[in-house]
Amino acid sequence: MFYRYVSDLKTTCSACTLSHVRAGSLSEEEAIIGTIAQKSSQPRKRKDMMSKLREQTDILVRGIREELAGDEEMTAYQALESGWLAWKLSLSERKSFGGESFGWVALGTIFESIKEIERKLDE
């Protein structure tokens, strides 16, 4: 799952760059916050590319979160465990491209799982 995430994130960063140079790919940080730091003489194109970047990154993150959380048969405790394992992986991969943001995605799953567990305990 992590390597697919990294591959998809790299593809998005390459597809949404304003630069025509191969090394002109966007950074992981730009992709996650949904902005393009590079200035352009074409503000409309930059705005369109940022919109595309946000959309593709959102689809990627939602897909990974859904996969970590599992289907209806997976309990909140299992989703918590899945998120925790993804978080631990992100710590070991944090220096590689995609490692930091994968950790943020994992944390989102962890927090949602904890919220669901607390909700069920309150019932």
Per-residue pLDDT of the chain (123 residues), as tens digits, is 999 999 999 999 998 888 765 556 899 999 999 988 888 888 898 899 999 999 999 999 999 999 999 888 889 999 999 999 999 999 999 999 999 999 999 999 999 999 999 999 998
Spatial CA neighbour of 68 closest among 78, 82, 57, 58: 82
Q: What pLDDT, on a 0 to 100 scale, did the predictor assign at position 72?
A: 82
Spatial CA neighbour of 28 closest among 57, 63, 59: 57
Reported pTM: 0.86
Q: What pLDDT, on a 0 to 100 scale, did the predictor assign at position 51?
A: 94
Q: What pLDDT, on a 0 to 100 scale, did the predictor assign at position 39?
A: 81
Q: What pLDDT, on a 0 to 100 scale, did the predictor assign at position 50?
A: 92
Q: What pLDDT, on a 0 to 100 scale, did the predictor assign at position 24?
A: 67
> What range defines the domain where residue 11 resides?
2-122
What is the Cα–Cα distance from 49 to 113, expressed in whole angstroms? Answer: 33
Q: What pLDDT, on a 0 to 100 scale, did the predictor assign at position 100?
A: 95
Q: What pLDDT, on a 0 to 100 scale, did the predictor assign at position 42?
A: 83
Structural domain count, the chain: 1
